[in-house]
Amino acid sequence: MLTTELHASDGRRWLAAGLSRGDSLTDSASQDVPSLATLIEHSASAVLFLESSLRSAFDESVGTLWQDIPETESTLIVLVPREAAPVDDPYYGDPATSFLCSASVFREYLALQVDCWPQTICFALLRAIADGIISVDRLLVRQLPETRQRAPSDGAISKALLLPHRGDPRHLRSALNYLGRTDGNSLSINVGLDVEDSSEFSGLVETNPQVKFFQSRPAPVGPYVIRQELAERSSEPLICLQDSDDLSCYDRFTILSEALAETGCDVIGSHELCLDEIRVMVYPVRYVVDSSAALALGHCHALLHATLMARREAFFGCGGLSTHHIVANDTQFMLRAFFTARIRNVDEFLYIRRRHPASLTNAPETVHDNPLRRSLNAQWTADFEAVKRGEMKLEDSSLRTTRRSEPYRMERLLPVGENP
């Protein structure tokens, strides 16, 4: 086993190692080498880049982690320390800097000759994957220690994935790429293009014939109009969401559907790994596990809307999505769903959220703390508590489902030569 050590100016250290299949840090003889490039000059199966504080947790997990790196598939596993989930609002952890990947993936990364510090190598590698410069078959996040034996799942229950898009076509291409690589083969992908001119997306329509593409007219109508419309057009028993600039991990849909069955809940989400292109770092964001219990105590950000998987009857039973605002209707949906649905998160990282300047929560006109969002949040919070106290009926509150009043239509886009 070849190893080298890297250091940061603040005293942190990372061990980089070229591992043969079945190697562990404790049981394998090691030889120090001068650079990262030499780690893959020999017959390594995988490359480990590990912050020193995680060494003992990795030693406990290595047998399990090898199962996530099949010989015939390329893999990246971002490694984060295991911590307790929060009791209400999301908890933002320290930057994630450790990973385990197939040797072929690390070889491609080194070929890019990215100039960065040890603490940003994980960011640079994940950014290259998100941008489609490097492709992997399995994209995973694991908490250390990780000793759980994961049984294969066929993902048999059909799921409708609703994916509105406005913005960079490359983001949508990456989202579709990793949706197509997720475990289980029961996902119907529905894309709603919220753009004035769809011509620059014609290539994606042609190369993804298994995906249903639609275009909104006029545009933009906003993501909630598109999600609600696509949900109404679908028939699958499970409804899943995703933002088009984000990535689903390989095991996202099998873990969520299994958790729905095991817990009997109606709506479920997961933690997120944030690929922050503004701050140039990767960090874990944990959500409360029992979202319904947290909401019973008070309004909180109990679930990341884009990670949602819901039973169809629960989604429509609480009224579906309001469509009268271009922002914030995800918050209203969650507060309204509290009264009719059981809501949870799995204690797993299954979703990679890209944070960038052009996203709805960062663009100046729709930023998180803009006046409209603040006003809606204050009104919804007050009515949420009033309904809980029995002082107001849900249907009389600002939480009631409200539809867009302006007319619109959704048109199906088909590959050339395919009949409607």
Structural domain spans, the chain = 2-144, 159-396
Q: What is the pLDDT of residue 363?
A: 54
In which band, very low, low, confident or very high, does the pLDDT at 420 lie, cut at 50, 70 and 90? low
Q: What is the pLDDT of residue 379?
A: 96
In which band, very low, low, confident or very high, does the pLDDT at 373 lie, cut at 50, 70 and 90? confident
Q: What is the pLDDT of residue 154?
A: 61
Which homologous superfamily does the CATH classification assign to the domain defined by 159-396?
Spore Coat Polysaccharide Biosynthesis Protein SpsA; Chain A (3.90.550.10)
Region of 113 on the Ramachandran plot (φ > 0 left; ψ -120 to 50 alpha; else beta): left
User: pLDDT per residue over 90-103, tens digit each?
Assistant: 999 999 999 999 99
What is the residue-averaged pLDDT of the chain?
Answer: 93
Which stretch of 40-44, 250-254, 286-290, 339-343 has the lowest confidence by average pLDDT? 40-44
Sign for the CA dihedral angle at 122, 123, 128, 132 comes to positive
Can you spell out the DSSP letters for 342-371? -EEEEEEEEEEEEE-TTSTTTSTTT-TTSH
Q: Taking residues 152-173, what's their average pLDDT?
A: 89
User: pLDDT per residue over 57-87, tens digit each?
Assistant: 999 999 999 999 999 999 999 999 999 999 9
Q: Does pLDDT of 42 surpass 80? A: no
In which band, very low, low, confident or very high, does the pLDDT at 33 lie, cut at 50, 70 and 90? confident
Which residue, 94, 122, 97, 125, is CA-closest to 109? 125
In this structure, what is the dihedral angle of CA atoms 111, 112, 113, 116, given to the nearest 10 degrees?
A: -130
Predicted model pTM: 0.95
